[in-house]
Structure 1
Amino acid sequence: MVQYLTSSKFYFEIDGITSLLVKTVTGPEIEMEVAGGDAPIGVTKDAKTQTQAVVGGVKYNSTVTLTYVAGNESDQKKLSDWYNDCHPDSFTGGASKAMDSRKTGSLVIYDPNGSEAMRFNYTDLFPGTKKQIGSLSVDSGGQLAEDTLELYFTKVVRAA
């Protein structure tokens, strides 16, 4: 029996950060460029055209973007501290711990029964752009405050 996965049962973990309340995970994006495609490459007897499509290249980005519930609690604080360690304050300058602070992480996708169905393991995660609490307004409808963090990586492997 085939079980289709839903996009609502997932979990993202980073070394030492295991209880982060994640709203969305996006990326990486991979696009296969096609050479040839629908354009005919020639014609044969009886005016039959021939086409050919081959992979002409691959475009991808090495980023994963997390949107998570903002806060200054346990795992939100760990994530914020990791970001700050890797990005020194522009006013004080100085060294960062970026090279020593690379982490590993996993995106786990669950089947409808709650069992692990797919796992993507990321190597050398590094925090990139961070956006904090998009906007606050009286008419926001009581929405939760969210932070967004872009993570760079050097390798992703589908383990399951």
Structure 2
Amino acid sequence: MPNDLINTDPIVAQNFFLAIDGEQLLLSGVSGLDLELDVVTIQQNGPSGKKQAIKTLGNSLKVPDISMTRMAPMDAMNDPIWKWFHAVRDEGFSGTKREGSRKNGSIVLYDTAFTEIGRFNFFNGWPSKISTDGLSTDSNDPVKETVTLIIERLERIK
């Protein structure tokens, strides 16, 4: 059996963070890093009268929502995500330009030596929802919150 079946270490799914506006925000979970092409199905009859289904590439890339989990900040009003959420909620998207409350950023992956090994860039994102975990007197778990980012494009560049 050859020894070169796996010639690199796997990406460990615990070393990552959100990079946005020059800040690095720690996360405890991320989902929605899906890159999916649109598929168009065409049904037609073949020469013998049998139905055939043909699948082909559509004209768009499906864009996911990114869901990020993190420890709830002690001071939400000074937290960058909460400030961003309040700006979107209070000011909306006004004017003729699409800048402002929409931001570009990255989910950055590291190996165990903390060398960057992966990067998902998102474009024109904005927080649509912040959910705080349920609270209970019988729990010793830290309070977490889940942030939903609406994005217009996602690319894995590394």
Q: Do both share a fold (TM > 0.5)?
A: yes
Question: Whole-Å Cα distance in 1 between the matches of residues 47 and 8 of structure 2?
Answer: 42
Question: Whole-Å Cα distance in 2 between the matches of residues 75 and 109 of structure 1?
Answer: 28
**Aligned alpha-carbon RMSD (Å):** 3.1
Percent identical? 24
1:109–1:55 distance in 2 versus 1, CA, 3 Å: farther
Deviating beyond 3 angstroms after TM superposition, the runs of 4 or more aligned structure 1 residues are 28-36, 51-61, 72-76
Q: 1:66 corresponds to which residue?
A: 68
1:29–1:75 distance in 2 versus 1, CA, 3 Å: farther
Question: Whole-Å Cα distance in 2 between the matches of residues 146 and 157 of structure 1?
Answer: 27
1:23–1:42 distance in 2 versus 1, CA, 3 Å: farther
Q: Does the Cα contact within 8 Å between 2:130 and 2:146 map onto a contact in 1? A: yes
The alpha-carbon deviation at position 86 of structure 1 amounts to 0.2
Matching of residue 96 in structure 1 with residue 67 in structure 2: no
- Within-5 A mapping of 1:117-128: 117-128=117-128
- Number of residue equivalences: 140
Question: Whole-Å Cα distance in 2 between the matches of residues 154 and 59 of structure 1?
Answer: 10
Matching of residue 150 in structure 1 with residue 127 in structure 2: no
Unaligned runs of 5+ residues in structure 2 are 1-6
Q: 1:115 corresponds to which residue?
A: 115
The alpha-carbon deviation at position 122 of structure 1 amounts to 1.1
Question: Whole-Å Cα distance in 2 between the matches of residues 109 and 55 of structure 1?
Answer: 33
Q: Does the Cα contact within 8 Å between 1:124 and 1:154 map onto a contact in 2? A: yes
One-letter amino acid matched to 1:152: I
Q: Does the Cα contact within 8 Å between 2:130 and 2:145 map onto a contact in 1? A: yes
Q: 2:136 corresponds to which residue?
A: 137
Q: Secondary structure at the match of 1:87?
A: helix
| Cα deviation 1:95-137 (Å, max 9, x = unaligned) | 43575111111111122332111111111111112212x2111
1:9–1:55 distance in 2 versus 1, CA, 3 Å: farther
One-letter amino acid matched to 2:27: V
Name the TM-score, length of structure 1 as normaliser.
0.70
Q: Does the Cα contact within 8 Å between 1:28 and 1:60 map onto a contact in 2? A: no
Q: Secondary structure at the match of 1:108?
A: strand
Q: 2:28 corresponds to which residue?
A: 23
The alpha-carbon deviation at position 11 of structure 1 amounts to 1.7
Unaligned runs of 5+ residues in structure 1 are 44-50, 89-94
1:42–1:29 distance in 2 versus 1, CA, 3 Å: farther
Question: Whole-Å Cα distance in 1 between the matches of residues 16 and 71 of structure 2?
Answer: 15
| Cα deviation 1:35-56 (Å, max 9, x = unaligned) | 69xxxx899xxxxxxx998556
Name the TM-score, length of structure 2 as normaliser.
0.71
